[in-house]
Amino acid sequence: MSYIITIESFDSVISSWDKLRHCLKWSSVFVLPAWLKVWWEAFGGEAELYLRTLQQEKHAIGFVPLKVTKETASFIGSADVCDYLDFAIAPGREQDFFKALLEDLRGKGIKKLDLRPLRYDSTVLTHLVSIAQNQGYEVLCHPEDVSLELDLPPTWNEYLAILKAKQRHEVRRKLRRLWETGSAEHRCVEISREVEDYLDIFLHLFSLSRDEKASFMNPKMESFFRSLAKAMADIGLLRMGILQLDKVPAAMTIGFDYNGSHYLYNSAYDPQFNYLSVGVLCKVLCLKESIERGRKRWNFLKGGEPYKYQLGGQEVPLYDCQITIA
């Protein structure tokens, strides 16, 4: 079989998105071209862009989102803002894709692949590792972190039944206390307009958070968040939750609805309302809304914060993988 590897730009991939989205498997929101373009413009630095599609008879069978520094190729993206990454490949074409990719990388003088973070079910771990090993390349993979997720049941009551008795009681007690204030209002909305207005509120709440969280949101990161929110809103994936007390924003979440899943990307709250547990309840109410809208999965995403386990999250291991192809 003959393959053509086409050099792409983000604009060319995004303009072909309607075709590519149906023929390739885009495993998560973090691998979408619109997301990667925002990251590249914010953090790409001096790396060389290695953006390719692998085609056979004008049909795309894979998308390569890599950057190259010296003789090492790695995913476009970074672990601090991209929870897990992967290639986008037509189902059943993984062997063809990775054999062609390794040959092209070797021909370009790339000596190492440094791929992270990876889900256990990524195409890297399920296909590329064995292909590289069969070709005699050195492969080293290690556990790096965990992500947490939850398969959502059809109803809120069924969700509560999943929780341990103590946590079920706590969720009900905290919600009851919140509603008894008489001034609480929560909504989860798909944002297409007024993105900047919502981001202004979110970033203000974020600035009130504990020191390490506030320091994360430096000017460069704030610019990234604003660009990312707009890009995701433009393709209909941005969804934000806001909890207000007497019309005053008390807590917010930023998330993305994609392929039947909700990705809880970030959150913020006003510490003056700690006594009402507004931070966790804003998440709980967005989770409830996702169930009511028929979503199948809730991705709490990377990190083992206690509340994720308390709300029913199950661990998904994340790995890093290094492949020496010299």
pLDDT tens-place string over residues 65-92: 999 999 999 999 999 999 999 999 999 9
Q: Tell me the per-residue pLDDT of 202-245, one tens digit each, with 9 for 90 and over.
A: 999 999 977 667 678 899 999 999 999 999 999 999 999 999 99
* DSSP strands (E only) in the chain: 4-7, 48-56, 59-69, 72-75, 88-89, 112-119, 138-151, 184-190, 238-245, 248-258, 261-269, 297-302, 314-324
Give ranges for CATH 3.40.630.30 in the chain.
4-144+319-324, 153-295
Bridging pattern class, strands 112-119 and 314-324 = antiparallel
- Which option is the CATH number for 153-295: 3.40.630.30, 3.40.50.620, 3.30.56.10, 3.40.710.10? 3.40.630.30
Which pLDDT score is estimated for 292? 97
Which pLDDT score is estimated for 216? 85
Instruction: Count Cα atoms within 13 angstroms, Cβ side, for 299.
Output: 25
Which pLDDT score is estimated for 49? 97
Which pLDDT score is estimated for 212? 67
Phi first, then psi, for residue 119 (nearest 5°) are -70, 160
Cβ neighbours of residue 284 closer than 8 Å, sequence gap 6 or more: 171, 174, 175, 311
Location of structure tokens 């049909």:
59
Phi first, then psi, for residue 170 (nearest 5°) are -65, -40
Q: Are 243 and 184 in contact (CB under 8 A)?
A: yes
Which pLDDT score is estimated for 57? 85
Query: What pTM did the predictor assign?
Result: 0.95
Q: Are 187 and 241 in contact (CB under 8 A)?
A: yes
Q: Which residue, 84, 99, 35, is CA-closest to 229?
A: 35
Q: Which residues of the chain have pLDDT under 50?
A: none
Q: Are 147 and 263 in contact (CB under 8 A)?
A: no
Which pLDDT score is estimated for 7? 96
What's 4-144+319-324's CATH class?
Answer: alpha beta
Cβ neighbours of residue 291 closer than 8 Å, sequence gap 6 or more: 152, 153, 154, 155, 156, 159
